[in-house]
A and B are shown apart, each in its own frame.
Chain A
Amino acid sequence: MGLLSAPHCRRALSRLVVRLNTPLCVLSYVAGLGWFLAMALPPLAPRTYMSENAMGSTMEEEQFPHGERALAYARDFAAQGIPVAWLEKTMWGLGLEVYKQPFARTLPFPDESHERYMVKGTNVYGILRAPRAASTESLVLSVPCSEGAQNSQAVGLMLALAGYFRGQIYWAKDIIFLVNEHDLLGMEAWLEAYHDVNITGMQSSGTLGRAGAIQAAVALELSSDVVTSFDVAVEGLNGQLPNLDLVNLFHAFCQKNGLLCTIQGKLQRSDWDTLPAYAHSLQTLLLMVLKQASGRPQGDHGLFLRYHIEAITVRGINSFRQYKYDMTTVGKMLEGMFRKLNNLLERLHQSYFFYLLPSLSRFVSIGVYMPAFGFIILVLILKISLQGGGRCAWGPGQDLGRAPPHRCPLPQEPRPGLLALVPPLLVCHAAGLALYVLPVLGQRVAAQHFPVSEAEAVVLTLIAIYVAGMALPHNAHR
């Protein structure tokens, strides 16, 4: 018999687990924590490298010249009262196929400023058709644009880039230039209409123009007309991440053009062996874990990931640094990225989909960060084995010198009938149903009768159902 099926072996092992349970648990927990903290160090965090052959072995000279034009477009855009018509006209003038998509969405809670439930907006997008290829694949450059014209510089740059791209003949994929309103709402509306699905209950007027399967997307946000650094946001909805090759692409262009690029808002330090540098990369790593855990997409790109479209958000930041980059440089970086993405033949799949970034040039893959969680979960398994297996593996007649006072119930008592399982099951399911349905159903009623807002009503109903559950006899028994 084997090690785990021979009774005396099993007894010895379970004796071991019982006797050393606490030390093993502590050791396992400390090991997990230590591993996690060690992930920011170079041996566990290797340098990033471009895995996709089509993107790595090619290099181009960027020649985008129209920085001034971008600024002019931005000024015109900011001066408009109703940008939709102006956008349509300008895009048409640049030679793109223009479509607009009005959408509307009923919010579950009223938004804080306006106390209204219905959000209406319009997305405008122009498609640049590839001159010599069938329109089977496309790339997206999206610029989120809400009220207040905060992102007008990005709109200007996008239009200048569109004009420049229109004059080139080397595009093998169509390029979609998208201006979406209301940030995430508009983005989701556009994606749902593009892929002809309706997941979130958005009302929109349906698909107008398509350009094939989207291979990659870049969302651009520029806060001002001069940029001192570029920040990249990778975390998406529910913590999903784009393919690491896209981040590598961004980093490659930062290095090529000598730009200052940050991740999580933090600039990479040049010293590697010192303690402050370690703390810095650990902090970056933990920020990324936190943002993933929150489940919130950190930019408009986050919604693309659900459709298996790799996307990142690039933010141009204007902080008070000495060296500033003008629009032409920003345009050149985007031009380079799009030309490299143009060379892709398949979707990005060569590099990692699950990773953590202690800095832009180092990554921790899932094979390296999973053991840390594994050790912490091992603590739970050790505890379970203590409860269930450790004590009950002893039969009668064994060494009971150190046995606990009560005997293991299973071999002694008759087994409870199946009918005894029904009440707990029913109660569990009823509680689950109540938690799922009641808060949303009852929020309006609760808001009328109690002095709370709708969001607060939902949370308080949840807490109330939990507290009520504590009074159930099943929980209070024993």
Chain B
Amino acid sequence: AAAALLLGCCGAALASGVQDQAEQFFRSGHTNNWAVLVCTSRFWFNYRHVANTLSVYRSVKRLGIPDSHIVLMLADDMACNPRNPKPATVFSHKNMELNVYGDDVEVDYRSYEVTVENFLRVLTGRIPPSTPRSKRLLSDDRSNILIYMTGHGGNGFLKFQDSEEITNVELADAFEQMWQKRRYNELLFIIDTCQGASMYERFYSPNIMALASSQVGEDSLSHQPDLGIGVHLMDRYTFYVLEFLEEIHPASQTNMNDLFQVCPKSLCVSTPGHRTDLFQRDPQNVLITDFFGSVRKVEITTETISLDRDLAGFESKLPKDELATEPLKYADQLPVAQIIHQKPKQKDWHPPGGFILGLWALIIMVFFKTYGIKHMKHIF
């Protein structure tokens, strides 16, 4: 009822300040938020990937997304690893001030359950009926989903658990499946791995915004080691993202452009990248809390708002910055024109390897066989 009231007041064509503010409530078309946070690497020396994921988990929970709407996948248990000198804790900074593990962490997919198959099933919803509710991504067409992935990656792939990989093409197809099944309204994809930008190159579904910690050919670096625990605690990009997110509160109006500025090259050493061409709104108008927080459309006002009976004006009040883009097709996923007309890359000259040498030896031997061995006499 209150929502309908606010809807009604939004329909009023009066240009009062409160009306404008009320209009801003419905800039984004989402009604619920989900988060899928994935850490793909195991082993003690990959402590920082678990710390990365848990920092984002912590921020997302603090800003309002409940555990029932978070799918947290951690490939290894660092807090209870026998090598952890501070058991039951995972720290993000060597000052030990922030224990991102906390008392109320709920890990949905743990240890060997974090596989490419499970991840894709979570995204696409093709889950066996016996899966418990906490392991499902029950999003609908009005959900904004935050997907955060971290681990070891390369050009076009992300390594899961030291034994398998997910490629950027698979990921793009999974997002397309989600779009066709109307499983998201808008999607924010953040990846913190080496060469992370390659993972979002192949997306072709609408309403996806992507951020990565490094470009193709660059490595993402870790932040600082802690000499008491003996490992690197966090990666640089996520460390600065966490610092940024610590200042966001549920009602903050910070937008995505500020998130794009987090961790410039001077701090991060790698060049973070982002992709917004598939996204229909201007990043300027996208709030951080659209993805990191939950929908809390409550604001107290003491002014009187007069309601207008005429609600027909609402239809025209769509945000002006919505671009009419054509839906991209599957065939557009591979930039064929670019591939065909690509200039060959300048490679360093290497001395010919075994195969080339063997090939040439074969050719020379065939030559001497056809023209007779007596020619060899002239050489010796």
CA of A58 to CA of B43, assembled, Å: 12
Are A3 and B369 in contact, with the CB atoms below 8 A?
yes
* Chain B residue, CB-CB nearest to A340: B230
Interface members, chain B 325-377 (any A CB < 8 Å): 365, 368-369, 373-374, 376-377
1/0 per position for B204-240, CB-CB distance to A under 8 A?
Answer: 0000000000000000000001011011100000000
Asked if B314 is at the interface (CB within 8 A of a chain A CB), the reply is: no
Are A130 and B45 in contact, with the CB atoms below 8 A?
no
CB of A329, distance to nearest CB on chain B (Å): 17
1/0 per position for B81-92, CB-CB distance to A under 8 A?
Answer: 111110100000
Interface members, chain A 1-49 (any B CB < 8 Å): 1-3, 6, 8-9, 12, 16, 20
Are A168 and B83 in contact, with the CB atoms below 8 A?
no
Interface residues on B, range: 20 to 34
Asked if B44 is at the interface (CB within 8 A of a chain A CB), the reply is: yes
B residues within 8 A CB of A251? none
CB of B316, distance to nearest CB on chain A (Å): 58
A residues within 8 A CB of B44? 54, 58, 343, 345
Are B45 and A343 in contact, with the CB atoms below 8 A?
yes
| A168 partner, pick from B85, B227, B369, beta carbons under 8 A | B85
CB of B151, distance to nearest CB on chain A (Å): 14
Main secondary structure of the interface of B (DSSP, over half): loop
B residues within 8 A CB of A171? 82-83
Are B87 and A8 in contact, with the CB atoms below 8 A?
no
Are A9 and B45 in contact, with the CB atoms below 8 A?
no
Are B230 and A339 in contact, with the CB atoms below 8 A?
yes
| B230 partner, pick from A9, A132, A343, beta carbons under 8 A | A343
| A172 partner, pick from B83, B228, B232, B373, beta carbons under 8 A | B83
* Chain A residue, CB-CB nearest to B376: A12
B residues within 8 A CB of A53? 43, 45
In the complex with contacts A12-B373, A170-B82, A132-B225 CB distance below 8 A: no
CA of A9 to CA of B81, assembled, Å: 68
* Chain A residue, CB-CB nearest to B374: A12
Which of A16, A20, A58, A130 counts the most chain B CB atoms within 10 A? A58
In the complex with contacts A2-B369, A132-B87, A343-B45, A57-B232 CB distance below 8 A: yes
* Chain B residue, CB-CB nearest to A342: B83
* Chain A residue, CB-CB nearest to B232: A57
In the complex with contacts A12-B373, A16-B380, A169-B85 CB distance below 8 A: yes
B residues within 8 A CB of A85? none
| A60 partner, pick from B81, B227, B368, B374, beta carbons under 8 A | B227
Are A345 and B43 in contact, with the CB atoms below 8 A?
yes
Asked if A476 is at the interface (CB within 8 A of a chain B CB), the reply is: no
Are A170 and B85 in contact, with the CB atoms below 8 A?
yes
Are B380 and A133 in contact, with the CB atoms below 8 A?
no
| B82 partner, pick from A9, A59, A131, A339, beta carbons under 8 A | A131
Are A133 and B43 in contact, with the CB atoms below 8 A?
no
Interface members, chain A 167-193 (any B CB < 8 Å): 168-172
In the complex with contacts A54-B44, A59-B225, A343-B44, A172-B82 CB distance below 8 A: yes
CA of A249 to CA of B27, assembled, Å: 58
B residues within 8 A CB of A16? 380
Interface members, chain A 320-353 (any B CB < 8 Å): 339, 342-343, 345
Asked if A115 is at the interface (CB within 8 A of a chain B CB), the reply is: no
CA of A1 to CA of B373, assembled, Å: 12
CB of A252, distance to nearest CB on chain B (Å): 14
Are B231 and A54 in contact, with the CB atoms below 8 A?
no
CB of A231, distance to nearest CB on chain B (Å): 27
* Chain B residue, CB-CB nearest to A3: B365
CA of A2 to CA of B45, assembled, Å: 55
In the complex with contacts A3-B368, A16-B380, A168-B85, A61-B45 CB distance below 8 A: no
CA of A287 to CA of B233, assembled, Å: 44
A residues within 8 A CB of B43? 53-54, 345
1/0 per position for B70-109, CB-CB distance to A under 8 A?
Answer: 0000000000111111010000000000000000000000
Are B373 and A8 in contact, with the CB atoms below 8 A?
yes
CA of A9 to CA of B373, assembled, Å: 6
* Chain B residue, CB-CB nearest to A53: B45
Are A343 and B83 in contact, with the CB atoms below 8 A?
yes
CB of A137, distance to nearest CB on chain B (Å): 11
CB of B15, distance to nearest CB on chain A (Å): 60
* Chain B residue, CB-CB nearest to A54: B45
Are B373 and A133 in contact, with the CB atoms below 8 A?
no
In the complex with contacts A343-B83, A345-B43, A58-B376 CB distance below 8 A: no
A residues within 8 A CB of B373? 3, 6, 8-9, 12
B residues within 8 A CB of A58? 44-45, 225, 230-231
In the complex with contacts A58-B230, A59-B227, A169-B87 CB distance below 8 A: yes
Are B225 and A170 in contact, with the CB atoms below 8 A?
no
CB of B1, distance to nearest CB on chain A (Å): 55
A residues within 8 A CB of B380? 16, 20
B residues within 8 A CB of A57? 45, 231-232
CB of B330, distance to nearest CB on chain A (Å): 39
Interface members, chain B 20-49 (any A CB < 8 Å): 43-45
B residues within 8 A CB of A3? 365, 368-369, 373
CB of B79, distance to nearest CB on chain A (Å): 11
CA of A36 to CA of B232, assembled, Å: 42
Are A132 and B82 in contact, with the CB atoms below 8 A?
yes
B residues within 8 A CB of A60? 227-228, 230
CA of A73 to CA of B304, assembled, Å: 85
CB of B237, distance to nearest CB on chain A (Å): 18
Which of B43, B44, B83, B374 counts the most chain A CB atoms within 10 A? B83
1/0 per position for A139-180, CB-CB distance to B under 8 A?
Answer: 000000000000000000000000000001111100000000
B residues within 8 A CB of A12? 373-374, 376-377
In the complex with contacts A343-B45, A345-B44, A61-B228 CB distance below 8 A: yes
B residues within 8 A CB of A130? 82
CA of A132 to CA of B44, assembled, Å: 15
11 contacts between A and B (CB under 8 A): A1-B369, A3-B368, A8-B373, A12-B374, A53-B45, A54-B43, A57-B45, A57-B232, A131-B82, A132-B87, A168-B85
Given A170-B84, A343-B83: 12 more A-B contacts, CB < 8 Å = A3-B373, A54-B45, A57-B232, A58-B231, A59-B225, A60-B230, A61-B228, A132-B80, A132-B87, A170-B83, A170-B230, A343-B45
**Interface residue ranges, A against B (CB under 8 Å):** 1-3, 6, 8-9, 12, 16, 20, 53-54, 57-61, 130-133, 168-172, 339, 342-343, 345
Closest 6 CB pairs between A and B? Answer: A61-B227, A133-B82, A172-B82, A60-B230, A170-B85, A132-B82
